[in-house]
A and B are shown apart, each in its own frame.
Chain A
Amino acid sequence: MRIGVVTFPGSLDDRDALRAVRIAGGTPVSLWHGDEDIKGVDAVVLPGGFSYGDYLRCGAIARFAPVMSEIIRLAGPPTQTSPGLPVLGICNGFQVLCESHLLPGALIRNEQQQFICRDQKLRIERTDTVWTNRYGKDDEIVVPLKNGEGGFAADQATLDMLEGEGRVVARYLDVNPNGSFRDIAGISNATGTVVGLMPHPEHATEAGYGPEAQAANSTGDGTDGLAFFTSALQGVLSA
């Protein structure tokens, strides 16, 4: 199973995402923003960071990178021959997905006007996505969150649509760290192939380097995020 991780200028968590894919048992493949070729990978992770410095708007410039045209084309609505390329956008990657209109809504500046780094409790609400099928419904986990512009925003109709179609993948518990509407931490497209998530599961895949905080369904050693990556291995196979 080959999972590609895109490096944009200013990507930061790309090496961490590659490591997470490896720990999960997949084959990590580095992808370069300036290439249209995605090297035939089975799935793609758009990593965290500050692509192009996050100047203008987060993800706005990265969305026009050559590699994104290919990803947008392959990840688009499913066709008879293809269920759509699975894509996980983490933090800045989530912002790129919204700017690319692969996911609805947008991410705006944190309500408290500060960058925040914390161990964040989440509830996994949708488990029939490529990226969350190894979690149980309503599992409570802890993964790091670190962002300055992580507030998920959309109009009422879009929010109602997301809720109605069960497309909220993860929700913040205990603390809403950035003013996200309806405590939304992550959403998916209709088919569950494309997922955007503000917190960082790739930073909770190795014992000793993840969060110390625990939740009801925590693994106990700070590796609650690993299942995002093991899910993809599973999900791509059965797709």
Chain B
Amino acid sequence: MTSDSMNLTPEQRAALDTVEKAATTPDVEQPWAALGMKADEYEAVRKILERRPTGSELAMYSVMWSEHCSYKSSKVHLRQFGEKTTEAMKEHLLVGIGENAGVVDIGQGWAVTFKVESHNHPSYVEPYQGAATGVGGIVRDIISMGARPVAVMDPLRFGALDHPDTHRVLPGIVAGVGGYGNCLGLPNIGGEVSFDPCYQGNPLVNALAVGTLRHEDIHLANARGNGNLVVLFGARTGGDGIGGASILASDTFTEGGPTKRPAVQVGDPFAEKVLIECCLDLFKADVVQGIQDLGAAGLSCAFSELASNGDGGMLVHLDRAPLRDSTLAPEEILMSESQERMMAVVTPEDLPGFLEITNRWDVEATVMGEVTDTGRLVVLWHGETIVDVPPRSVAHDGPVYERPYSRPEWLDARQADTPDRLPKPQTDDELKSLVVTMAGTPNLASRAWITNQYDKYVQGNTAQAMPDDAGVLRVDEESGLGVAIATDCNQRFAALDPYTGAQLALAEAYRNVGVAGGKPLAVTDCLNFGSPEDPAVMWQFAEAVRGLADGCQTLGIPVTGGNVSLYNQTGSTAIHPTPVVGVLGVLDDVARRTPSGWKSAGAQLFLLGTTRAEFAGSEWAWSQHEHLGGLPPQVDLAAEQALATVMVQASSDELVVAAHDLSDGGLAQALVESSLRHGVGATVSLEAACERDGVDAFTLLFAESAARAVVAVKPEAAQQFTEACQAQGVPVVALGSTGGETVAVEGRFELTLDELRVAHERTLPEALNA
């Protein structure tokens, strides 16, 4: 436990860049540019320290002030999430934005924490390990709140399904998500898969984790109590991802590959699983004062954040850090992003109890130093002072940029190019074959090839998972109290109008949760965009944040945390703006959730909501005509709220047997999916709905208007259900009923479930097993 006080040789001592030396050698050239820092940022550090930084200090500032860690380009916009959160919206919020993850009260003394994060660039370079460590990282955020991780989800974006690089990237990413999550014993309860050429050189791997805890178990990342000990535990520190935080996240990829091949991090899910159990035992024994996971920026981040969130001072002996590679220099140790490590603040009295638990789990633990009241973060290396900084200046007072933004001039032309000019199917036969074709497009086809690689059963609390609209988990085994979570984003909508697109993503996730019977409570988001240095991208970002913040305010549910991933582009071409939104809702008893497929014949089908001729950004326009233009569907958050209210009530009153929200592919796709789910067909008639909404059959089947769902209702409850809809002002129209071996549209066409199943299920296997 004491530092390995192997003394430095005179040569080593001479080579060491100490604070003392920095004070007397102000003119030494420093590699701030190579570390991704700008000249004015370097100057700012000199001003803070009133001298040049040491090499170790420069390492810390450069990683902590990188885009990835400091949010320097996005901060001014993200503030809206806090500012637009009213007191009323905070009702269920136990911990808000700013901590490792937000914590939401779900009642009965239970709380849930959830957050989504990106691991995009690493997953392009090394798909398996990139995705695996992405899951590992977000799970550690959840543990550090004091929670038991209980599930993961994985919103993914790839280039075109038939592009060769997709065949390199996709199988590796899926295997990595599964390999890590399965080995941790975390059920995967949902996610997204979307194919679009804009992601060809820049796939998106977002990972969401959920944890549960009792209110009294909440832990925070702060170092309080003068004299308390700072303990590093978990895996040893190696040379993984050194400089990754700054270089990896601040640099764009050029044509044909990454400009800089970063050292790749390799995950050890077994070590993380042991770490989870170990942490839970530590929490149970109440021997942890503050705790922080080590992710991006590694020790630099943990030391400076713990110190600045606490009493403000810390003294650490960096040479005590257990290393995997004994040749690492102190700067490298400070920057290393080795996985599966945590840092805790422990009172001296609790230390023996703490170590007893880490020993039981065979987890290495090292006292690195202690909390002080000096207001300084001091790092020693074999007794020499190599860092002496105000911790806030590293962790919180990084640069803030008001990057210029402006609406891209090409947007007018894109919005003016509406889908009205596209040829539409004319006959019932054409409609019929379109239903089959659409069921098999890469974006609408069955995801089973992917989701079958994920364990959805482990932990025994999964009430609903893929391919249902929302994942549903039981939290309390006695009462059945639980949560529903969905993540969504249609990047084409966001490309047409980022403000509306972000709101549509929110609306869809909200709708998925509501339709499953969950009362929406909180939001997490992962904002994936191109380079913030491009004013057009910055405008997309600003608009998306504004849209999401406004939307949350209207819906009355707060953003509790999230992540920003910038520089997602190949050369000068950015990805479509991709604000992935996760919504969490609560169910008093998950036994009363509403699944998305009907299990038996004889239920009555209703269509809720209004259909308009909205095809801009739709799957039909894109998959059949490679068209992306016009204005995305209207957002009506009041209508979304009314729809969710009806569906939550109907689920708790047990009026409905199944419900599927309408999104990509519209009504046709929803009918196909809900019928294929349990092999029970449906017969519908479109006339009443068409007449009421003034649209044709094609529009009713394929438009992607928001705030809609198709609902299967017990026949004896039909009247009560329609009255409930009317009471909430939700447009409702009878569609038909469930049953049979076909999806039949009266007077028009009939498709057997077998032919639909083949069309729906063969796309991914045919493309990926080749």
A and B touch in the complex (CB under 8 A): yes
Q: Which residues of A are in contact with B by a Cβ distance under 8 Å?
A: 9-10, 12-13, 15-16, 19, 34, 48-50, 52-55, 114-118, 144, 146, 148, 200, 202-203, 206, 208-209, 212
CB–CB B268/A53 < 8 A: yes
Give chain B interface residues in 173-190, CB to chain A under 8 Å.
175, 178-179, 182-185
Q: CB < 8 Å: which of A9, A116, A208 contacts B270?
A: A9
State which size class the interface on B falls in. 20 to 34
Residues of A within 8 A of B455 (CB): 115, 117, 146
CB distance from B460 to the nearest CB of A (A): 4
CB–CB A117/B453 < 8 A: yes
Residues of B within 8 A of A54 (CB): 183, 270
> How far is B183's CA from A15's CA once the two chains are assembled, in angstroms?
15
Answer whether residue B458 sits at the interface, using C-beta atoms and an 8 A cutoff.
Answer: yes
Answer whether residue B12 sits at the interface, using C-beta atoms and an 8 A cutoff.
Answer: no
Answer whether residue B463 sits at the interface, using C-beta atoms and an 8 A cutoff.
Answer: yes
Answer whether residue B22 sits at the interface, using C-beta atoms and an 8 A cutoff.
Answer: no
Q: CB < 8 Å: which of A50, A118, A200, A203 contacts B273?
A: A50
CB–CB B270/A117 < 8 A: no
Given contacts A50-B270, A208-B591, A212-B678, contact A115 B459 (CB under 8 A): no
CB–CB A209/B463 < 8 A: yes
> How far is B678's CA from A52's CA once the two chains are assembled, in angstroms?
38
Q: Give me 27 A-to-B residue pairs in the complex whose CB atoms sit less than 8 angstroms apart, sorted by A's number.
A: A9-B277, A9-B362, A10-B273, A12-B273, A12-B458, A13-B185, A13-B458, A16-B458, A19-B477, A48-B458, A50-B183, A50-B269, A52-B270, A53-B270, A53-B271, A55-B270, A114-B452, A115-B178, A115-B182, A115-B454, A115-B455, A117-B454, A148-B182, A200-B457, A203-B457, A208-B463, A212-B678
Answer whether residue B461 sits at the interface, using C-beta atoms and an 8 A cutoff.
Answer: yes
Answer whether residue B274 sits at the interface, using C-beta atoms and an 8 A cutoff.
Answer: yes
Answer whether residue B341 sits at the interface, using C-beta atoms and an 8 A cutoff.
Answer: no
> How far is B456's CA from A104's CA once the two chains are assembled, in angstroms?
30
CB–CB B185/A12 < 8 A: yes
Answer whether residue B18 sits at the interface, using C-beta atoms and an 8 A cutoff.
Answer: no
Residue of B nearest to A34 (CB): B360
> How far is B269's CA from A50's CA once the two chains are assembled, in angstroms?
10
CB–CB B185/A115 < 8 A: no
Residues of B within 8 A of A146 (CB): 182, 455, 457-458
CB distance from B578 to the nearest CB of A (A): 27
Residues of A within 8 A of B458 (CB): 12-13, 16, 48, 146, 203
Between A and B, how many residue pairs show CB distances below 8 Å? 83
> How far is B270's CA from A55's CA once the two chains are assembled, in angstroms?
9
> How far is B268's CA from A202's CA once the two chains are assembled, in angstroms?
27
Answer whether residue B361 sits at the interface, using C-beta atoms and an 8 A cutoff.
Answer: yes
Answer whether residue B339 sits at the interface, using C-beta atoms and an 8 A cutoff.
Answer: no
Residue of B nearest to A204 (CB): B457
CB–CB B362/A115 < 8 A: no
* 0/1 string, B345-377, CB within 8 A of A gives 1: 000000000000000111000000000000000
Q: CB < 8 Å: which of B273, B360, B453, B591 contacts A116?
A: B453
CB–CB B460/A115 < 8 A: no
* 0/1 string, B438-481, CB within 8 A of A gives 1: 00000000000000111111111111000000000010010000
> How far is B360's CA from A48's CA once the two chains are assembled, in angstroms?
21
Residue of A nearest to B451 (CB): A117
> How far is B178's CA from A13's CA once the two chains are assembled, in angstroms?
16
* 8 extra interface residue pairs, beta carbon distance < 8 Å, beyond A10-B274, A206-B460: A13-B458, A34-B360, A50-B183, A115-B454, A116-B453, A117-B454, A118-B452, A209-B460
CB–CB B460/A19 < 8 A: yes
Q: CB < 8 Å: which of A9, A10, A209 contacts B461?
A: A209
Residues of A within 8 A of B271 (CB): 53
CB–CB A117/B452 < 8 A: yes
Residues of A within 8 A of B175 (CB): 114-115
Given contacts A10-B274, A53-B270, A117-B454, contact A15 B463 (CB under 8 A): no
* 0/1 string, B668-709, CB within 8 A of A gives 1: 000000000010000000000000000000000000000000
CB–CB A144/B182 < 8 A: no
Residues of A within 8 A of B452 (CB): 114, 116-118
Residues of A within 8 A of B269 (CB): 50, 53
> How far is B590's CA from A49's CA once the two chains are assembled, in angstroms?
26
Point out which of B270, B271, B457 has the most chain A C-beta atoms below 10 A from its C-beta. Answer: B457
Residues of A within 8 A of B178 (CB): 115
Q: CB < 8 Å: which of A49, A116, A117 contacts B185?
A: A49
Residues of B within 8 A of A117 (CB): 452-457
Residues of B within 8 A of A115 (CB): 175, 178-179, 182, 453-455
Q: CB < 8 Å: which of B184, B457, B463, B590 contacts A144?
A: B457
